[in-house]
A and B are shown apart, each in its own frame.
Chain A
Amino acid sequence: MTHRISRRSVLAGGAALLSYAAFAPRAFSEEARLRLLWWGSQTRADRTNKVSELFKAANPGVSINGEFLGWSDYWPRLATQVAGGNAPDVIQMDYRYIVEYARRGALAPLDSYLGSVLKVEDFDQVQIKGGSVDGKLYGISLGANSTAMMVNTVAFEEAGVDLPTPATTWDELARMGIEITKAGKRKGYYGLSDGSGVEPLLENWLRQRGKALFTADGKIAYDANDGAEWFAMWQKMRDDKACVPADIQALDQFNIETSPLSLGKAATSYAHSNQLVGYQAINKDKIVLRSHALIGKDAKGGHYRKPSMFFSVSAKSSDPELGAKYVNFFVKDPDAAKVLGVERGVPESASVRDALAPSLDDLGRAALEYVSGLGALAGDLPPPPPSGAGEAELALRRVAEQVAFGQLDAKQGGETLVDEVTQILSRG
Chain B
Amino acid sequence: MAAVQDSAVVVGAGANGRPAAQGRWASIWAKHGAGYMFLLPWLIGFFGLTLGPAVASLYLSFTSFDLIRAPEWVGTANYVRIATADPKFAAAIHVTFLYVVLSVPFKLAFALLVAILLNRGVRGLTVYRAIFYLPSLLGGSVAIAVLWRQLFAGDGLINSLLGQFGIEGPSWISHPNYSIWTLVVLSVWQFGSPMIIFLAGLRQIPTDMYEAASLDGASKFRQFYKITLPLLTPVIFFNAVVQTIDAFKAFTPAFIISGGTGGPINSTLFYTLYLYQEAFGNFRMGYASALAWILVLIIALFTAFSFLTSRYWVHYDD
Which residues of A come within 8 Å of B, CB atoms? 1-7, 10, 12-15, 17, 72, 75-76, 79-80, 82-83, 100-101, 104-106, 188, 246-251, 253-255, 258, 388, 390-391, 394, 397-398, 401-402, 405, 407
Contacts and interface: CB of A to CB of B under 8 A. Distances in A.
B56 A14 contact: yes
B68 A82 contact: yes
A14 B289 CA distance: 13
A398 B263 contact: yes
Contacts of B258: 253
Contact of A82 (B67, B72, B75, B175): B67
A253 B255 CA distance: 11
A80 B283 CA distance: 10
B71 A254 contact: no
Contacts of A254: 259
B73 A3 contact: yes
B55 interface: yes
B173 interface: yes
B281 interface: yes
A194 B48 CA distance: 48
Nearest to B279: A76
Contacts of B72: 2-4
B174 A100 contact: no
A388 B261 CA distance: 15
Which residue, of B68, B75, B261, has the highest number of chain A Cβ atoms within 10 A? B68
Contacts of B123: none
Contact of A10 (B70, B154, B155, B175): B70
Given A2-B72, A13-B53, 16 more contacts: A3-B73, A6-B70, A13-B55, A14-B56, A15-B53, A17-B49, A100-B66, A105-B68, A248-B174, A250-B175, A251-B173, A258-B259, A390-B282, A398-B265, A402-B265, A405-B264
Given A13-B52, A405-B176, A247 B170 contact: yes
Given A4-B71, A188-B155, A79 B283 contact: yes
Interface in B170-204: 170-171, 173-176
Which residue, of A10, A14, A258, A390, has the highest number of chain B Cβ atoms within 10 A? A14
Contacts of A402: 265
B69 A398 contact: no
Contacts of A82: 67-68
B280 interface: yes
B75 A106 contact: no
A133 B48 CA distance: 38
B155 to A, nearest CB: 7
B153 interface: yes
Interface in B136-181: 153-155, 170-171, 173-176
Interface residues of B, number: 40
Interface in B210-250: none
B68 A14 contact: no
A14 B263 contact: no
Contacts of A6: 70
A91 to B, nearest CB: 12
Q: Is the interface of B mostly helix, strand, loop or mixed?
A: loop
A188 B168 CA distance: 12
B171 A14 contact: no
A104 B281 contact: no
A13 B289 CA distance: 13
A394 to B, nearest CB: 6
Contact of A251 (B71, B171, B281): B171
Those 9 A-B pairs whose CB atoms lie nearest each other, nearest first:
A253-B259, A13-B56, A250-B174, A3-B73, A76-B280, A14-B53, A104-B68, A250-B264, A247-B171
Given A15-B56, A250-B174, A83 B265 contact: no
Contacts of B53: 13-15, 17
B94 to A, nearest CB: 15
Nearest to B81: A427
B79 interface: no
A5 B70 CA distance: 7
A402 B177 CA distance: 12
A320 B263 CA distance: 41
A7 B171 contact: no
A45 to B, nearest CB: 20
B35 interface: no
B14 to A, nearest CB: 33
Contacts of A188: 154-155
25 contacts: A3-B73, A4-B70, A4-B71, A4-B73, A5-B70, A13-B52, A13-B55, A13-B56, A13-B59, A14-B53, A15-B56, A17-B48, A75-B280, A76-B279, A79-B283, A83-B68, A246-B264, A248-B174, A249-B174, A250-B264, A251-B153, A255-B259, A391-B281, A394-B261, A405-B176
B266 interface: yes
B70 A7 contact: yes
B174 A251 contact: yes
Which residue, of B261, B264, B281, has the highest number of chain A Cβ atoms within 10 A? B264
Contacts of A255: 259
Contacts of A248: 154, 171, 174
A82 B280 CA distance: 13
A388 B52 contact: no
A246 B59 CA distance: 43
Nearest to A82: B68
Contact of B265 (A7, A75, A105, A407): A407
A350 to B, nearest CB: 35
B173 A5 contact: no
A254 B261 CA distance: 10
B88 to A, nearest CB: 10
B69 A105 contact: yes
A101 B71 contact: no
Interface in B244-294: 258-261, 263-266, 277, 279-283
A259 to B, nearest CB: 12
Nearest to A73: B280
Contacts of A3: 72-73
